[in-house]
Amino acid sequence: MLIETLVAVGVLAWIATSIMLAAMFGAMFAPDKEKLIGRIIVSTVLLLPCVILVPLSFAAFIILVTCAFIVGVTIFGVRSALDLIIEGIPEMDEDGNIIEKNKIKPTAPWI
């Protein structure tokens, strides 16, 4: 049931995004408000390429993020990348110096 719902929502988002993209292109190619029929025709003609373009742009985004991650790990190294993931990005002041927080270690009450 959950998978069917996710697929239905995904297809609905895909179609809605394609329609909005086609309408945007239609408005771009027929900018005059008086030419509403021309804008509708251009949007309808561009709907099929937009239906194909939306998944391709999603796949291109995934590939771009993967490439950026690989380049980042290559430049900074695995250890630096793991440190950034585990500890987060350090806070810096106006001069570019790293602000180190005083880490107070808990002590036992009898010490």
Instruction: Answer yes or no: is 78 within a domain.
Output: yes
Number of domains in the chain: 1
Instruction: Answer yes or no: is 6 within a domain.
Output: yes
Looking at the predicted structure, is the pLDDT value of residue 111 above 70? no
- Average pLDDT of span 20-33: 81
Instruction: Answer yes or no: is 13 within a domain.
Output: yes
51-108 pLDDT, tens digit each:
888 888 888 888 998 998 888 888 878 788 777 778 777 777 788 787 777 666 667 6
**Better-predicted residue by pLDDT, 34 or 51:** 51
CB 18 within 8 A of CB 43: no
Instruction: Answer yes or no: is 107 within a domain.
Output: no
Q: What is the DSSP string of 50-106?
A: HHHHHHHHHHHHHHHHHHHHHHHHHHH-HHHHHHHHHH-PPPB-TTSPBPPP--PPP
Q: What is the pLDDT of residue 72?
A: 80
Question: Residue 7 belongs to what domain range?
Answer: 2-87
Instruction: Answer yes or no: is 7 within a domain.
Output: yes
